Amino acid sequence: MSTRTPTARKEGPRSKRGVILEASIERFGHDGFEFTKWASIADQVGIGQTALYHYFESKAHCLLTIMSLELERSLEQFKAATSAVEDDVARLEAAIESAYGLTEREALSARILLSHMDLLTTARVSEREEVERQRARTLVRAIEDEWTALVQQGMDSGAFAPRDARQTGQALLALIISVWRWYRPGGRQSLADISRFMSGACLRLVGPDPR
Protein backbone atom coordinates (compact mmCIF):
# COMPACT_ATOMS: atom_id res chain seq x y z
CA MET A 1 0.00 0.00 0.00
CA SER A 2 1.31 3.45 -0.87
CA THR A 3 2.51 6.16 1.47
CA ARG A 4 1.90 9.14 -0.79
CA THR A 5 1.01 12.56 0.57
CA PRO A 6 -0.15 14.72 -2.35
CA THR A 7 0.75 18.39 -2.40
CA ALA A 8 -0.32 20.91 -4.98
CA ARG A 9 2.79 23.06 -4.65
CA LYS A 10 6.19 23.13 -3.03
CA GLU A 11 6.17 24.16 0.61
CA GLY A 12 8.84 25.88 2.65
CA PRO A 13 10.32 24.07 5.65
CA ARG A 14 8.22 26.16 8.05
CA SER A 15 4.95 25.89 6.12
CA LYS A 16 1.98 24.48 8.01
CA ARG A 17 -0.08 23.89 4.89
CA GLY A 18 0.54 20.16 4.67
CA VAL A 19 -0.14 19.66 8.39
CA ILE A 20 -3.37 21.64 8.11
CA LEU A 21 -4.49 19.48 5.19
CA GLU A 22 -3.69 16.28 7.10
CA ALA A 23 -5.62 17.46 10.17
CA SER A 24 -8.55 18.56 8.00
CA ILE A 25 -8.70 15.24 6.17
CA GLU A 26 -8.78 13.42 9.49
CA ARG A 27 -11.51 15.65 10.92
CA PHE A 28 -13.63 15.95 7.77
CA GLY A 29 -13.29 12.22 7.09
CA HIS A 30 -14.16 11.01 10.56
CA ASP A 31 -16.42 13.73 11.97
CA GLY A 32 -17.84 15.25 8.80
CA PHE A 33 -17.17 18.63 7.21
CA GLU A 34 -20.29 20.23 8.66
CA PHE A 35 -19.48 19.11 12.20
CA THR A 36 -15.84 20.18 12.16
CA LYS A 37 -15.15 23.61 13.62
CA TRP A 38 -12.52 25.53 11.67
CA ALA A 39 -10.98 26.74 14.93
CA SER A 40 -10.49 23.13 16.06
CA ILE A 41 -8.16 22.56 13.08
CA ALA A 42 -6.02 25.47 14.25
CA ASP A 43 -5.94 24.01 17.77
CA GLN A 44 -4.94 20.57 16.49
CA VAL A 45 -2.16 22.00 14.33
CA GLY A 46 -0.98 24.29 17.11
CA ILE A 47 -1.40 27.65 15.42
CA GLY A 48 -3.68 30.61 15.95
CA GLN A 49 -6.84 30.90 13.89
CA THR A 50 -5.47 34.04 12.23
CA ALA A 51 -2.45 32.05 11.02
CA LEU A 52 -4.83 29.43 9.60
CA TYR A 53 -6.25 32.03 7.23
CA HIS A 54 -2.78 32.60 5.81
CA TYR A 55 -3.05 29.18 4.16
CA PHE A 56 -6.80 28.81 3.58
CA GLU A 57 -9.26 31.66 3.62
CA SER A 58 -12.11 29.43 4.77
CA LYS A 59 -13.03 25.90 5.75
CA ALA A 60 -14.66 25.51 2.32
CA HIS A 61 -11.43 26.60 0.61
CA CYS A 62 -9.59 23.86 2.51
CA LEU A 63 -12.26 21.32 1.55
CA LEU A 64 -12.08 22.22 -2.13
CA THR A 65 -8.29 21.94 -1.98
CA ILE A 66 -8.55 18.45 -0.49
CA MET A 67 -10.98 17.50 -3.25
CA SER A 68 -8.76 18.76 -6.07
CA LEU A 69 -5.72 17.05 -4.55
CA GLU A 70 -7.61 13.77 -4.33
CA LEU A 71 -8.71 14.07 -7.95
CA GLU A 72 -5.13 14.81 -8.97
CA ARG A 73 -3.89 11.76 -7.06
CA SER A 74 -6.55 9.57 -8.66
CA LEU A 75 -5.69 10.74 -12.17
CA GLU A 76 -1.95 10.25 -11.69
CA GLN A 77 -2.45 6.81 -10.16
CA PHE A 78 -4.74 5.76 -13.01
CA LYS A 79 -2.17 6.81 -15.62
CA ALA A 80 0.67 5.08 -13.81
CA ALA A 81 -1.30 1.84 -13.45
CA THR A 82 -2.48 1.62 -17.05
CA SER A 83 0.39 3.10 -19.06
CA ALA A 84 2.48 -0.06 -19.29
CA VAL A 85 -0.40 -2.54 -19.78
CA GLU A 86 -1.23 -3.55 -23.35
CA ASP A 87 -4.08 -6.06 -22.93
CA ASP A 88 -7.42 -4.23 -22.69
CA VAL A 89 -8.95 -6.45 -20.00
CA ALA A 90 -5.74 -6.35 -17.96
CA ARG A 91 -5.67 -2.55 -18.33
CA LEU A 92 -9.18 -2.28 -16.91
CA GLU A 93 -8.24 -4.59 -14.04
CA ALA A 94 -5.13 -2.48 -13.36
CA ALA A 95 -7.23 0.70 -13.30
CA ILE A 96 -9.66 -0.83 -10.81
CA GLU A 97 -6.85 -2.14 -8.63
CA SER A 98 -5.23 1.31 -8.60
CA ALA A 99 -8.54 2.87 -7.52
CA TYR A 100 -8.43 0.85 -4.30
CA GLY A 101 -4.68 0.77 -3.71
CA LEU A 102 -4.96 3.54 -1.14
CA THR A 103 -3.61 4.39 2.27
CA GLU A 104 -6.12 4.96 5.07
CA ARG A 105 -5.64 8.72 4.68
CA GLU A 106 -6.26 8.52 0.92
CA ALA A 107 -9.42 6.50 1.54
CA LEU A 108 -10.64 9.30 3.80
CA SER A 109 -9.87 11.82 1.06
CA ALA A 110 -11.84 9.74 -1.44
CA ARG A 111 -14.77 9.64 0.99
CA ILE A 112 -14.62 13.42 1.45
CA LEU A 113 -14.53 13.95 -2.32
CA LEU A 114 -17.55 11.77 -2.99
CA SER A 115 -19.55 13.35 -0.17
CA HIS A 116 -19.08 16.88 -1.47
CA MET A 117 -19.12 16.59 -5.27
CA ASP A 118 -22.14 18.93 -5.27
CA LEU A 119 -19.79 21.79 -4.34
CA LEU A 120 -18.32 21.64 -7.84
CA THR A 121 -21.59 22.51 -9.56
CA THR A 122 -21.96 26.11 -8.37
CA ALA A 123 -19.53 29.01 -8.75
CA ARG A 124 -17.98 30.32 -5.55
CA VAL A 125 -17.98 33.98 -4.56
CA SER A 126 -14.47 33.72 -3.12
CA GLU A 127 -11.78 33.94 -5.80
CA ARG A 128 -9.51 31.37 -4.12
CA GLU A 129 -12.38 28.94 -3.61
CA GLU A 130 -13.40 29.37 -7.25
CA VAL A 131 -9.85 28.64 -8.43
CA GLU A 132 -9.90 25.31 -6.55
CA ARG A 133 -13.41 24.51 -7.78
CA GLN A 134 -12.41 25.09 -11.39
CA ARG A 135 -9.26 23.04 -10.91
CA ALA A 136 -11.32 20.18 -9.50
CA ARG A 137 -13.81 20.36 -12.36
CA THR A 138 -10.99 20.21 -14.90
CA LEU A 139 -9.58 17.13 -13.15
CA VAL A 140 -13.02 15.45 -13.09
CA ARG A 141 -13.28 15.89 -16.87
CA ALA A 142 -9.74 14.58 -17.35
CA ILE A 143 -10.53 11.46 -15.30
CA GLU A 144 -13.73 10.86 -17.25
CA ASP A 145 -11.81 11.28 -20.51
CA GLU A 146 -9.21 8.71 -19.41
CA TRP A 147 -11.85 6.15 -18.51
CA THR A 148 -13.72 6.83 -21.75
CA ALA A 149 -10.54 6.28 -23.75
CA LEU A 150 -9.81 3.04 -21.89
CA VAL A 151 -13.31 1.74 -22.63
CA GLN A 152 -13.23 2.90 -26.25
CA GLN A 153 -9.94 1.13 -26.84
CA GLY A 154 -11.40 -2.07 -25.42
CA MET A 155 -14.45 -1.73 -27.64
CA ASP A 156 -12.32 -1.08 -30.72
CA SER A 157 -10.30 -4.23 -30.07
CA GLY A 158 -13.40 -6.33 -29.47
CA ALA A 159 -12.54 -7.00 -25.82
CA PHE A 160 -15.59 -5.04 -24.61
CA ALA A 161 -19.13 -4.98 -25.97
CA PRO A 162 -19.82 -2.05 -28.34
CA ARG A 163 -21.80 0.58 -26.46
CA ASP A 164 -21.54 4.31 -25.74
CA ALA A 165 -17.96 4.57 -24.47
CA ARG A 166 -18.44 7.70 -22.34
CA GLN A 167 -21.62 6.42 -20.74
CA THR A 168 -19.93 3.10 -19.99
CA GLY A 169 -16.87 4.85 -18.56
CA GLN A 170 -19.04 7.01 -16.32
CA ALA A 171 -20.95 3.93 -15.18
CA LEU A 172 -17.68 2.21 -14.26
CA LEU A 173 -16.53 5.27 -12.33
CA ALA A 174 -19.85 5.55 -10.49
CA LEU A 175 -19.66 1.90 -9.48
CA ILE A 176 -16.05 2.15 -8.32
CA ILE A 177 -16.39 5.31 -6.24
CA SER A 178 -19.68 4.21 -4.64
CA VAL A 179 -17.56 2.16 -2.25
CA TRP A 180 -16.47 5.30 -0.41
CA ARG A 181 -20.02 5.83 0.85
CA TRP A 182 -19.79 2.82 3.14
CA TYR A 183 -16.16 1.67 3.37
CA ARG A 184 -14.48 2.12 6.74
CA PRO A 185 -10.86 1.16 7.50
CA GLY A 186 -10.74 -1.89 9.75
CA GLY A 187 -14.14 -3.14 8.62
CA ARG A 188 -15.05 -6.65 7.59
CA GLN A 189 -13.90 -6.14 4.01
CA SER A 190 -10.41 -5.03 3.11
CA LEU A 191 -9.72 -2.84 0.09
CA ALA A 192 -8.09 -5.84 -1.56
CA ASP A 193 -11.32 -7.84 -1.12
CA ILE A 194 -13.37 -4.95 -2.48
CA SER A 195 -11.02 -4.55 -5.43
CA ARG A 196 -11.43 -8.20 -6.44
CA PHE A 197 -15.23 -8.00 -6.15
CA MET A 198 -15.46 -4.73 -8.08
CA SER A 199 -13.13 -6.02 -10.76
CA GLY A 200 -15.57 -8.84 -11.49
CA ALA A 201 -18.53 -6.46 -11.45
CA CYS A 202 -16.84 -4.03 -13.84
CA LEU A 203 -15.81 -6.79 -16.24
CA ARG A 204 -19.41 -7.95 -16.35
CA LEU A 205 -20.51 -4.37 -17.04
CA VAL A 206 -18.29 -4.06 -20.12
CA GLY A 207 -19.03 -7.59 -21.29
CA PRO A 208 -21.69 -8.78 -23.73
CA ASP A 209 -25.25 -7.51 -23.23
CA PRO A 210 -27.15 -10.37 -21.52
CA ARG A 211 -30.40 -9.50 -23.31
pLDDT tens across 40-64, in order?
Answer: 999 999 998 888 988 999 999 999 9
User: Using 50, 70 and 90 to split pLDDT, how confident is the model at 2?
Assistant: very low
- In this structure, the answer to whether residues 106 and 161 fall within a common structural domain is yes
15-25, pLDDT tens digit by residue? Answer: 789 999 999 99
Indicate whether 4 belongs to any domain. Answer: no
Given a cut of 90, whether residue 3 has pLDDT beyond it is no
**What is the residue-averaged pLDDT of the chain?**
91
Number of domains in the chain: 2
Q: Is 15 helix (H, G, I), strand (E, B) or coil?
A: coil
- In this structure, the answer to whether residues 13 and 111 fall within a common structural domain is no
End-to-end CA distance of the chain: 39
Q: What is the CATH number of the domain that holds 150?
A: 1.10.357.10
Indicate whether 3 belongs to any domain. Answer: no
Indicate whether 20 belongs to any domain. Answer: yes
Range of 82's domain?
A: 59-206
- In this structure, the answer to whether residues 42 and 93 fall within a common structural domain is no
Indicate whether 185 belongs to any domain. Answer: yes
pTM for the model: 0.90
Q: What is the CATH number of the domain that holds 25?
A: 1.10.10.60
Given a cut of 90, whether residue 8 has pLDDT beyond it is no
CA distance 116 to 182: 15
Indicate whether 161 belongs to any domain. Answer: yes
Given a cut of 60, whether residue 87 has pLDDT beyond it is yes
User: Using 50, 70 and 90 to split pLDDT, how confident is the model at 150?
Assistant: very high
Cα 53 from chain centre: 25
CA distance 174 to 8: 25
